[in-house]
Structure 1
Amino acid sequence: MEQSLWRNRNYLTLMSAQLISSLGDWLSMIAIFTMIGMKWEASPLEVSFTMLSLVVPMALFGPFAGIVSDKFPRKALMITSDLVRAVLITGLAFADTIGMVYLFLFAIGCFSAVFIPSKNGKLKEIVPERHLKSAMSVTSAIDSGTKIAGPLLSGLLVTLFPVSIVFFIDSATFLLSAFLLVFLRGDRIVNKETTNPSTSIKEDWKEGFHFMKEQVFLLSGLIIIGSGLLILQLADSQFIVLIRQLADASPDLFGYLITASGIGMLTTGIILARKTDYNAFVLMIAGMGGLGVSFSILGWFTHIDLVYPVIWMSVLGFAAGFTSSLGFIPFQASVQLTTPSHLTGRVFGVVNSVTTTATIAGPLAGGIMATFFGVIPLFIGTGVLLVLLSVTFYINRRKLQDTEQERQITGKNGARTFLNP
């Protein structure tokens, strides 16, 4: 299975471009949060607004971007997105106020909103259905691997050079990614159905949403992921503020935490790439619960100012990364496996809109809560809510499974689902 996948030249080209651009993303993200969180000593709300600047355009333009990726050549859209983002990342090197950082991140988010559904749609086109689960796991493993190397390299670069150098390097990675995508060859279309060019954007978006609504298993998964992200983002955007509460606080701790999280995500990706006969619904529930436990312990250990924070933050960061991927990878693979090629952009546009909306409301509410109640209670409370969410869905899993089986009996869809793999 893996041998056939790795002989797919289009897939290798796409993954190589993703590897390079993702590495650059983590270089700049660590540099940004180090700059505003440790050097500029940004407040919890300012840290939240920094994250919001990047995800708001994805929520606003996610559905539209998904429709665009279905109507126009995805290769051209990805190359254009990379080139424009290369210019915008360079602009961050000259930002001297947090307001300028907000503006550049917002613009970068707009073009990232186009790139993501285009990449997912292209993956559906060039990878046979029997290899999609493995392909999605490898994609996640690449993201996780760059999450390991990026923070380590970024920490070294920030120590040796001005932060602006990191942004120039990130810009170069986008240029190299665009160059590689030029060599993406003609695609083997999995589903040759095309959309009616006369339909409106509103009708196109409704078509993607209607498909999601008819798939009980996808809709349930989207609810889990969306609500889980909403709760998660209450605290996730405040990690740099949490670290500042420690007596031995340092910028290196943030890098170690992110790196350990990346190792955990990479481990999950490797495991799921090899073992594809999993029950995605159960893994999603377990992942959210494990993530909640990790967050609560992080908050508690920070409260007691436990010694050797490098060790326990790295261990808990690994656990958080490992369990979070147990939820996100199976859901993404299920969406890819179930959605027809000609609807991939629309469906992922709906998914991205829901998830990024959660990542908008979460950091904003989290920044306000951290300001009024403190960041440590926020982490502990967030963890408890995630555990309660996972328990609630586990208790109701049978009811969802029965609903899906009834829908299949009526003949609406007999495809495999992540409730019944």
Structure 2
Amino acid sequence: MASQRRPVHHQDEDPWGWVVVGATFVAFFITYGNLKALGILLLAMQNDFSSDVWIIGWMSVLYNSISLFSGPFVASIDRLVSSRRSVVIVGGVMGSAGFIIGSQSTTVLQLALSIAILSGLGKSLSFFPFFGTLASYFSENYSVAIAIASSSLPISMIVYGPLTQMLLDTYGWRGTMMILGGITSHILVCAALLKAPAVASPTDTEQYQKVPDDAAEGDDISTEGDNIPTSKSHQGKCLTIKGNIQRLLTSMDFKLLANKRFIYLTAAMSCVHFCFSGWVVYMVSHGVFQGLSSHQASLLPTSFGIGYFLGKFLSPLFDRTRFKLPTISWVCFGCFLMFASFLTEAFMTLFPVQMIITGLIGVGQGIVTQSNDVLVRFLTSVDRLVALVCWQASIGGISAMGSGLLSGLIYEWTGSFQVALIMYSGIMLISVPLFIIYGKTTKREQNQC
């Protein structure tokens, strides 16, 4: 009996794509909520282990950093494994297990291994594959789809701050960690909803992609005929150990690292990652050291989350009006806003003012990340998107790891985070010319085509 032919998939028309958007929303909500929760638990864990603030704070940053700079290996797994659903399921199990095991740790080393290594790798496996699935469903509506999906990041900031503080007051940090592990297991449900389109989107056998108007004035990049393996391209082949290693390295798509536009965009976003990672971990601690109560400080992530949420949707909303701006203009505006806000936040002590400035930092972060999501989507073909996102995140993760260490050490040396915030403002200024160079390089390359 002949098998029934599946319907042809057309981007932006398949309703299941919005189900994938919802699954991505929940998965992102959990993974980034866990990062914020670790920031809330920082002082409680530091007191329990009688350790320095910077050591526990760096462990929290390592959770995020390891999940980022393990990205290229996840990109390789994404290409070589036939089911993204399976990859996300494994990541959800690892992430959940890391928090549960960490709740029973008796030393800082045990806690670091369970949170930074096990949960960090789990976060990576359960995060990056969603980008490829989303891109296979959306093209013209991608900016809206990714804005909705990634808006869960600021919402998680809003929810996880007070929620974690309430759980901490009720169950202590160990009980809170166990509950976080249970919440993380819900990523398995998100994985179950992942389904690839019946017919794949354009692959890297095509030379160029058609780009919508809102993607930084036409951000497309030649694939140069790269022969990158996928799970289907190796079915039925018996590979030696050497062949498997070569296949793994090829699937990591190192050629992306030689592209000028990728280099400029990634360098600029590494500056943003540096500032964000240090700020998101020490945000609550900075509020406490500036004279706020623990409950007042726990509301700062809420203000940041509201601003972040608004920033994510500013560009997609304005794109549908006559006030539409190029993506590069948006990203530079977001960087300038974060520069001014970080500099002001360093000297603010009043609770209402700190809430407002923290919200403005969130707006800037939302604008920058949303603009970057659109720029990255149209740098290359859909089947190379996960690799591109993973490489950018990997380099950003190294930057983020340095941020957590340096910010913690600055606190140990100075007794506050004021110097760190001044440093963040300066680094945000550095990112602006990098984004501008990226935009000019894009125009120059397109004029040559």
**Smaller-chain TM-score bracket:** 0.7 to 0.9
Whether 2:406 is the aligned partner of 1:406: answer no
Contact 2:28 2:152 in 1 (8 A): yes
Whether 2:382 is the aligned partner of 1:320: answer no
Q: Distance in 2 between matches of 1:115 and 1:293?
A: 34
Aligned equivalent of 2:401, options 338, 341, 360: 360
Aligned equivalent of 1:163, options 154, 166, 173: 173
* 1:255 matched residue in structure 2: 298
1:113 is aligned with what amino acid? S
Aligned equivalent of 2:310, options 263, 267, 286: 267
Aligned equivalent of 1:350, options 391, 396, 421: 391
Closer, same or farther in 2 for the Cα pair 1:95/1:252, shift >3 Å? farther
* 2:216 matched residue in structure 1: none
Tell me how far 1:391 sits from its aligned partner: 5.5
Whether 2:336 is the aligned partner of 1:289: answer yes
2:447 is aligned with what amino acid? I
Q: Residues 194-209 of structure 1 correspond to what in structure 2 (within 5 A)?
A: 195-196=228-229, 197=234, 199-205=246-252, 207=253, 209=254
Tell me how far 1:257 sits from its aligned partner: 1.0
Q: Distance in 1 between matches of 2:419 and 2:55?
A: 17
TM-score by length of 1: 0.83
Closer, same or farther in 2 for the Cα pair 1:51/1:325, shift >3 Å? same
Contact 2:335 2:368 in 1 (8 A): yes
Tell me how far 1:260 sits from its aligned partner: 0.7
Closer, same or farther in 2 for the Cα pair 1:289/1:118, shift >3 Å? same
Residues 215-264 of structure 1 deviation map (CA, whole Å, 9 limit, x = unaligned): 62x432212111233355555543344234334x4322332111110110
Closer, same or farther in 2 for the Cα pair 1:27/1:288, shift >3 Å? closer
* 2:108 matched residue in structure 1: 98
Q: Residues 2-151 of structure 1 correspond to what in structure 2 (within 5 A)?
A: 8-15=17-24, 17-18=26-27, 21-22=30-31, 25=34, 28-36=37-45, 42-72=51-81, 73-106=83-116, 107-125=118-136, 127-151=137-161
What is the root-mean-square deviation of aligned Cα atoms in Å? 2.9
Q: Percent identity?
A: 10
Tell me how far 1:117 sits from its aligned partner: 2.0
1:314 is aligned with what amino acid? M
Q: Distance in 1 between matches of 2:289 and 2:40?
A: 20
Unaligned runs of 5+ in 2: 1-11, 205-226, 235-242
* 1:415 matched residue in structure 2: none
Q: Distance in 1 between matches of 2:150 and 2:33?
A: 16
Contact 1:90 1:168 in 2 (8 A): yes
Q: Which moved more, 1:185-194 or 1:312-321?
A: 185-194
TM-score by length of 2: 0.78
Higher helix share: 1
Closer, same or farther in 2 for the Cα pair 1:157/1:5, shift >3 Å? farther
Whether 2:244 is the aligned partner of 1:211: answer no
